[in-house]
Each structure stands twice: as structure tokens, then as C-alpha cells.
Amino acid sequence: MSDLRDLYQETIFDHYRQPRNFGRLQGANRRAEGYNPLCGDKVTLYLRVEDGVICNARFEGSGCAISTASASLMTENLKGKREEEALQLFDKFHGMVTGSTMTNDLGKLAVLAGVTEFPQRVKCATLAWHTMKAALQNIGEPVTTE
């Protein structure tokens, strides 16, 4: 059961218990909702984008340890990134958790690499990320992981 420890690392629990950037963002100019119909997890992501740079990111919602920690870590990571950098980060992160690409420059996000051994949990890890993509592309409809 060592892969359970690989999945549930201390950093994940830390961000699950005390999610960073949690709550509504005043002055947000991008917003999107994500929904995982499989488990009922919901996330709302708020971004403040100025001159193509994400100045601030916050989220609210309820979810499992993996989806909450992933959203928390993502919001930390997005601040200061250009929109296109954020979208590139989406691709890298998605590649890491689905096991399709190897990356070693994801920094703290690498704690979610254990998800590759749990294919049923990839949707939990990527929910916030799909929502971020939708927010940047200004998709009005809630995105789902399906």
C-alpha cells in the first residue's frame, strides 16, 4: 500500500485541511465553474487578469483531498503567470497526472504525480485545471470532467 502514501503526501493533506486562496475574489474579471458528476465535487475559480497576466487567483467549492489540494496548489502557482504560461502549465500538469508525459519542472505540483497510479482519481486532480482553462477562455457554461 506504499502507493497510497505516494498519493496522499503530507503536502496534499496540508492543502486539503488548509486550502490556500480559498474564497471569493473581489475584483475578479474571469470566473468559471467546474463540476465532477462522478463524485459531486464542485469548484468555482476566480481570476484577476491584467495585461495578460494573472494577478490573483482564488477558488471555492467542496471536494475530496485530491481535488481540493490540486485547486489550492494551482492557485498558488498561477499568480504572476501570463495566460499562455498558465495554459502551458495545464498541459504539463495534465501530462503528469495522466502519465502521458514526463516532466520534472513542475515544482511543488509534483506532489500530485502519485495520481498516475490511480486512474479513477485523475478527474479529481484535473477538475480545477479544466476550470482554469475555461476561465481563461471565458466559457460561460460550467465545465465538467466528463
Partner 1 sequence: MILDNLFQSLSYYDESSEKYGVHSWRADFPILETSVHGKPLVYLDNAATTQKPLAVIEAESLYYRHDNANVHRGVHLLSQRATDAFEAARFKVQHLINAVSPDEIIFVRGTTEAINLVAQSYGRSRFKAGDEIILSRMEHHSNIVPWQILCEQTGVNLRIIPINNSGELELEAYNQLLNLRTKLVAVAHVSNAMGTINPVRAMIDLAHVHGVPVLLDGAQAIAHLPVDVQSLDCDFYAFSGHKLYGPTGIGVLFGKAALLEAMPPYQGGGDMIRSVSFDGTTYNTLPYKFEAGTPNIAGVIGLGAAVDYLAGIGFDALIEHELALLAYATQSVSDIPGLRIIGNALEKTAILSFVLEGIHPHDIGTILDRHGVAIRTGHHCTMPLMEHFGIAATARASFALYNTRTEVDKLVEAIYHVKELFGR
Applying CB under 8 A, the residues found at the interface with partner 1 are 1, 3-4, 7-8, 13, 17, 38-42, 62-66, 118, 120-121, 124
Closer residue to partner 1, CB minimum distance, 19 or 78: 19
Which H, E and C letters describe 54-117, residue by residue?
EEEEEEEEECCHHHHHHHHHHHHHHCCCEHHHHHHHHHHHHHHHHCCCCCCCCHHHHHHHHHHH
Write the DSSP symbol of residue 86.
H
- For the CB of residue 117, give the shortest distance to partner 1 in the complex, in Å: 10
- For the CB of residue 72, give the shortest distance to partner 1 in the complex, in Å: 14
Joined together, the cell numbers standing for residue 76 give: 498558488
Closer residue to partner 1, CB minimum distance, 86 or 124: 124
Closer residue to partner 1, CB minimum distance, 4 or 24: 4
- For the CB of residue 8, give the shortest distance to partner 1 in the complex, in Å: 6
3-state secondary structure of 8: coil
Strands across the sheet containing 41-50: 53-62, 41-50, 30-36, 143-144
Closer residue to partner 1, CB minimum distance, 3 or 84: 3
- For the CB of residue 4, give the shortest distance to partner 1 in the complex, in Å: 5
